[in-house]
Amino acid sequence: MNVTRREFLELSAATTAGLALSKKAIAGGAADPVRVGIVGTGRRGKSLLKTMLQIDNIKVPALCDIDRDALSMAQDIAVKAGQPKPQGYSKDEYVFKELMNRDDLDAVIIATPWHWHTPMAVYGMEHGKYVGVEVPAAISLDECWQLVNTHEKTGVPCMMMENWSFRRDNLAILNMIRKGMFGDIVHCHCAHSHDCVDHWFFDTDGKIRWGGEYLLKYNRDQYPTHSLGPVLSWMDINCGDSFDYLTSTASDSRGINAYFSRKFGPDHPNAKRKYKQGDIVTTVVRTKKGKTIVINYDMQLPRPYDNRWLIQGTLGLYNEQRNSLYIVDKSPKYHQWEPFPPYQEKYEHKWWREMKQKDGSFGHGGTDYLELKLFFDAVRNKTQTPVDVYDSVVMSCIVPLSGESIANGSAPVKCPDFTHGKWETKKPVFAVEV
């Protein structure tokens, strides 16, 4: 069932219908199994594996990880779910190519450290495999263009697995925006506010993890896609508007040193180490149509998790932190917030109406299940994926562009047009209800 460029282009006329998706995309019932290989079986890879094994007609013939213990645990997960034991690949860092060379795979999921995302995604597309790659899809402008150019050369889809694009609340807000309830959209704020020092960048014993290496080498927004996931569709980016330029500013780096001094004492090596990464990075994007987006990176200071989404238009606004909104002539009290939950129920996206039979035990409250199910439906039907390669790289390009702006005293940096001008005429297709 491997998709070729010719097959994909012949089916391109059905892209919109494929993106809209029929009810079977959520409820299951399609006859053909989708055969998936996973590269990277660490914490995220195993979580995705557990979720996808609960989706109808998914087969996992092969898994890959150079950590043989992680690979063995992932194989056991598949076997306990009733699958034949997947073949394991672990001999070296390039053994993923052997997995992707297999003829019995339709798609690959990539859940490895960041610097492998683009090389693996490119190889997968070149070998006819639908690619689902974890976030960010790319960490340099060159990698962004590699993904775009490979997709355009091969016709094979590549989707960054940005799960927050599929959240229940975010899709309800998207429905309200498309119904014009907030008027013309003017501004958005978004953030990835998540204290990750003690588990994501470092182990609890203070040993630096692969993610922590980036804090030593770079000063930029390292992780913008969870912020931007829903914003692209809210603001019609790549389908009616486009990023024009951005500026980024970083605070000093103090949070990591303070954490290690607090936990291990001021003489701990990590308490004395110098980190390039500022604690807070604020990026401001201006679009071609004159809208603005504020993006915050905030992953090194003590705080509860928060995305701080706010979308504002000429008739009102929504604020995720308050779980509230205000709409001109609809909100009961002049210039006062009202609760969002009743609106979420009323404007529930059909993807979530069809998810209500699920028990919420899937990854991230069902969001991972929905994202994977829609990705696999596109693989099965040979249609475009819900998030395409252009959206994937637009979210990812904030990583290098923010670093460039910071390094040049917060100077404006031009954002590339990865669509080659197609954003001006392309109509929205993500999560369009028909």
Angle subtended by helix axes 398-407 and 141-154, to nearest 10: 150
Task: Give the pLDDT confidence of 142-198 residue by residue, as tens digits.
Answer: 999 999 999 999 999 999 999 999 999 999 999 999 999 999 999 999 999 999 999
> Residue 316: phi, psi to the nearest 5?
150, -170
Q: What is the dihedral of CA 230, 234, 238, 242, to 10 degrees?
A: -110
Q: What is the pLDDT of residue 361?
A: 52
On the question of pLDDT at 9 being above 90, the answer is no
- Side-chain-facing half-sphere of 415: CA atoms under 13 Å: 29
Q: What is the pLDDT of residue 362?
A: 59
User: What does the radius of gyration of the chain's CA atoms come to, in whole angstroms?
Assistant: 21
Tokens of 1: 């069932």
- Where would I find the beta strands (DSSP E) of 220-309? 243-250, 280-287, 292-298
pLDDT mean over 317-343: 95
pTM above 0.75, yes or no: yes
Query: Could you report how far apart the first and last alpha carbons of the chain are, in Å?
Result: 28
Question: Which three-class secondary structure state does DSSP give residue 283?
Answer: strand
Tokens of 130: 């639908």
Task: Give the pLDDT confidence of 18-45 residue by residue, as tens digits.
Answer: 333 333 333 344 468 999 999 999 999 9
For 332: left if phi > 0, alpha if psi spans -120 to 50, otherwise beta; the answer is alpha
Tokens of 39: 């590269």
Q: Which region among 13-27, 29-43, 91-105, 242-256 has the lowest average model confidence (pLDDT)? A: 13-27
What DSSP line would sit under 329-345, residue for residue? TTSSSTT--EESHHHHH
Task: Give the pLDDT confidence of 334-391 residue by residue, as tens digits.
Answer: 889 999 999 999 999 999 998 875 555 555 689 999 999 999 999 999 999 999 999 9
Q: Which domains does the chain have, with CATH numbers?
A: 5-163 (3.40.50.720), 165-349+388-424 (3.30.360.10)
Q: What is the pLDDT of residue 16?
A: 36
Q: Which residues pair with 132 in a beta bridge?
A: 109, 159
Task: Give the pLDDT confidence of 195-236 residue by residue, as tens digits.
Answer: 999 999 999 999 999 999 999 999 999 999 999 999 999 999
Q: What is the pLDDT of residue 335?
A: 85
Question: Which three-class secondary structure state does DSSP give residue 204?
Answer: coil
Tokens of 199: 């588990």
* Beta-carbon count within 10 A of 207 CB: 9
How many helices (H) does the chain have, and how many strands (E)?
18, 15
Q: Are 297 and 224 in contact (CB under 8 A)?
A: yes
State how beta strands 130-133 and 158-160 pair. parallel
* Beta-carbon count within 10 A of 349 CB: 22
* Beta-carbon count within 10 A of 257 CB: 18
Q: How far is CA 271 from the centre of its chain?
A: 32
Sheet holding 87-89, edge to edge: 87-89, 58-64, 34-39, 107-110, 130-133, 158-160
Instruction: Give the residue from 239, 289, 237 showing the smallest Cα distance to 426.
Output: 239
Task: Give the pLDDT confidence of 269-319 residue by residue, as tens digits.
Answer: 999 999 999 999 999 999 999 999 999 999 999 999 999 999 999 999 999
pLDDT band at 13 (very low <50, low <70, confident <90, very high): very low
Task: Give the pLDDT confidence of 129-138 residue by residue, as tens digits.
Answer: 999 999 999 9
State how beta strands 58-64 and 243-250 pair. unpaired
Q: What is the pLDDT of residue 122?
A: 99
3-state secondary structure string across 51-84: HHCCCCCEEEEEEECCCHHHHHHHHHHHHHCCCC
> Residue 410: phi, psi to the nearest 5?
65, 30
Question: Which three-class secondary structure state does DSSP give residue 246?
Answer: strand
Instruction: Give the residue from 432, 389, 430 showing the smallest Cα distance to 130.
Output: 389
Q: What is the pLDDT of residue 334?
A: 80
Query: Which segments of 209-254 does DSSP mark as H helices, in order?
Result: 210-217, 225-234
